[in-house]
């Protein structure tokens, strides 16, 4: 249950989040990110990451200096428009443009000019899948076709995504130019979904007589913090600039939760269904949203989009080449492809799988156990609010990422963004609270 009285942990978070009108945490975010980007530019073994860091470090530094100016203006009693929420939104927009969009466009242009070290492998995979979709009607190569590739190219022959992801590779299949780089279209999709999510939550204005003073501003501040996490946090900005396929999936999940927060279950199902048609990471979010819909007698409306769209995306690939679909979206992710995934971040699941006898089986058993525990939680305390739904999704994905035998550090962008998004999802009749660990709930706390 979302507690009526803040815990000590929640009080500490709220104190940090609201210090100097939110500017203190803004400054910390941009300053630490600048250091991270600078270190990445110097030490990363991945050339696209180094190129990102060289540009992003400057963007983060400028954003940090802008916040320093805002803090000084606030202390001197200047007009609030110079340091209040609109000004903070402006700095956030600049930070995203300079640390994600600018490096993305820079690398896209250099790549179109002949540089082969300006994109991660997933960009090539998505673009090749788009070209195959245009030529053969399916985004996937069969096992025999992959086996016929040179050993060094077999990994790129796999497309471990849902069929909808190939849509971002279609422009490259038609025209070879900088603006057809898949990352450009990942950014467009991400921006559109986030803009819709923000507009949805901002449009749900509380009734003035029923709203405590400052609650509306608090919700807007929480919304800003959620957007910052999904855009300018280095794990998201770096991912969008160098690879990018996870960002539109994440943004659509955030949009689905925003629609759930304003009681639009059918539209929430469509949004998370679009995400599920792109990547499997959205499927757990879809399942939790369906359970949320059941608590509101709208489970069928949520499921129609959440399940219907991914199934509709799978059908053409299934009809054209069922074996190729199975090879790419099932065998390869489960470790039964011709080559293994390079995802080897040192999380507990990976360490167990590699260090212990029968470690892969142990890690898989732990992952199944975590899934069963979440299923029991959903059965006993189904989420009745968008806040609770976001928290269950965030903590559930965090547990899954930690226990998966093969995973990547970058996948942490999902739980981080979902958990930070939760405070912005309070219904317009709820008192604003900032949920933290231990506050999973099946009920809303009404004002």
Q: What is the pLDDT of residues 173-213, one digit of tens each?
A: 999 999 999 999 999 999 999 999 999 999 876 544 344 54
| 344 or 396, which is more confident | 396
**What does the DSSP 8-state code read for residue 432?**
P
Residue 171 maps to a domain? yes
Per-residue confidence (pLDDT) for residue 447, from 0 to 100: 28
Residue 331 maps to a domain? yes
Burial of 83 from C-beta contacts in 10 A (0-12 / 13-18 / 19+): buried
- 233 pLDDT above the threshold of 50: yes
Residue 430 maps to a domain? no
pLDDT tens-digit readout, 127-182: 999 999 999 999 999 999 999 999 889 999 999 999 999 999 999 999 999 999 99
Q: Span 116-121, mean pLDDT?
A: 92
| 411 or 436, which is more confident | 411
Please check whether residue 374 is in contact with residue 392, taking contact to mean a CB–CB distance below 8 angstroms: yes
- 391 pLDDT above the threshold of 60: yes
Quote the domain boundaries for residue 223: 8-425
Number of domains forming the structure of the chain: 1
Please check whether residue 49 is in contact with residue 40, taking contact to mean a CB–CB distance below 8 angstroms: yes
As given in the structure block, the two tokens for residue 165 are 């992801």
Residue 438 maps to a domain? no
DSSP string, 363-427: HHHHHHHHHHHHHHHHHHS---SHHHHHHHHHHHHHHHHHH-SS--GGGGHHHHHHHHHGGGG--
- 432 pLDDT above the threshold of 70: no
**What does the DSSP 8-state code read for residue 208?**
G
Residue 64 maps to a domain? yes
Q: Round the average pLDDT of the chain to a whole number and report it.
A: 88
pLDDT tens-digit readout, 336-389: 889 887 767 788 887 887 888 887 788 888 888 999 999 999 999 999 999 999
Q: Is 18 in a helix, a strand, or coil?
A: helix
* pLDDT band of 37, cuts 50, 70, 90: very high
Residue 447 maps to a domain? no
Residue 441 maps to a domain? no
| 422 or 433, which is more confident | 422
pLDDT tens-digit readout, 48-59: 999 999 999 999
Per-residue confidence (pLDDT) for residue 51, from 0 to 100: 97
* pLDDT band of 410, cuts 50, 70, 90: confident
Residue 121 maps to a domain? yes
């Amino acid at each position: 249950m979302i507690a009526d009285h803040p815990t000590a942990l929640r009080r500490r978070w709220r104190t940090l989040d609201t210090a100097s009108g939110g500017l203190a945490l803004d400054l910390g975010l941009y300053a630490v990110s600048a250091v991270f980007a600078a270190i990445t530019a110097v030490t990363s073994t991945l050339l696209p990451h180094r190129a990102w860091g060289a540009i992003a470090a400057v963007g983060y530094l400028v954003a940090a200096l802008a916040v320093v100016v805002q803090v000084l203006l606030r202390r001197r009693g200047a007009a609030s428009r110079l340091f209040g929420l609109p000004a903070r939104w402006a700095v956030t927009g600049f930070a995203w443009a300079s640390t994600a969009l600018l490096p993305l466009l820079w690398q896209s242009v250099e790549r179109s000019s002949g540089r082969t070290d300006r994109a991660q492998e997933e960009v090539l995979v998505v673009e090749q899948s788009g070209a195959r979709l245009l030529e053969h009607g399916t985004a996937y190569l069969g096992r025999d076709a992959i086996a016929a590739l040179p050993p060094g190219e077999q990994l790129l022959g796999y497309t471990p995504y849902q069929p909808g992801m190939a849509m971002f590779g279609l422009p490259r299949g038609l025209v070879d130019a900088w603006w057809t780089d898949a990352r450009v279209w990942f950014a467009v999709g991400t921006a559109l979904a986030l803009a819709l999510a923000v507009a949805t939550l901002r449009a749900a204005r509380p009734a003035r007589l029923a709203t405590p003073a400052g609650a509306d501003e608090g919700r807007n501040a929480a919304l800003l913090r959620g957007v910052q996490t999904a855009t300018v946090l280095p794990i998201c900005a770096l991912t969008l600039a160098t690879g990018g396929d996870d960002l539109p999936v994440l943004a659509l999940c955030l949009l689905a939760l925003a629609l759930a927060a304003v009681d639009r279950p059918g539209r929430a199902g469509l949004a998370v269904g679009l995400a599920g048609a792109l990547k499997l990471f959205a499927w757990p979010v879809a399942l939790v949203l369906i359970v949320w819909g059941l608590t509101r007698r709208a489970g069928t409306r949520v499921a129609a989009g959440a399940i219907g769209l991914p199934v509709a995306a799978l059908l053409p690939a299934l009809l054209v080449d069922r074996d190729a679909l199975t090879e790419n979206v099932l065998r390869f992710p489960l470790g039964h492809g011709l080559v293994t995934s390079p995802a080897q971040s040192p999380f507990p699941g990976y360490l167990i799988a590699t260090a212990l006898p029968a470690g892969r089986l142990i890690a898989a058993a732990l992952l199944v156990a975590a899934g069963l525990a979440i299923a029991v939680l959903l059965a006993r305390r189904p989420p009745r609010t968008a806040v609770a739904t976001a928290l269950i999704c965030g903590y559930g994905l965090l547990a899954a990422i930690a226990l998966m035998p093969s995973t990547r550090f970058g996948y942490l962008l999902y739980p981080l963004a979902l958990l930070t998004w939760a405070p912005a999802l309070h219904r317009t009749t709820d008192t604003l609270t900032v949920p933290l660990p231990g506050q999973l709930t099946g009920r809303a706390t009404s004002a």
